[in-house]
Amino acid sequence: MRRFIKQLKNGMLVVSYCTSCQKKIWPPYEHCPSCYRRTSTITAGKFGKIVEFSKSWLEEEKVIVALIDMDGILMLGSVLEGRGISVGAAVKLIATGATPEGKIYFCFRTLDRFDSYTMNK
């Protein structure tokens, strides 16, 4: 978990990975919940798809909160307001980190044509 927070503070999203089960584990755990072996850490991709989204007014400003499927890992994050926010829309992780209070955040935005091009590489 410390590795996860440290990487996150550097703006990099990593997930736990079990080499025995060949499975990504989210949220990160030091031991695989299936076989209890120690997990390693791999870098997660930057692209995902919106599974569901909603507008939230819990914070001081309106925020679009979405459930994002990132290659089989489901994450909650915010999506920058803009065109093309819909279920199934492709998004890119543009910011991640932890606040001084320890609150972890993930921020996405919908893709433009350039992103779609790089995503296929």
Q: Which residues of the chain form contacts with Zn ion (CB under 5 A)?
A: 18, 20-21, 32, 34-35
Tell me which residue of 107, 14, 120 sits closest to 5, measured CA to CA.
Answer: 14
Could you tell me the sign of the dihedral formed by the alpha carbons of 6, 79, 75, 105, in that order?
positive
Q: How would you class 120 by CB atoms within 10 Å of its CB: exposed for 0-12, middle for 13-18, buried for 19 or more?
A: exposed
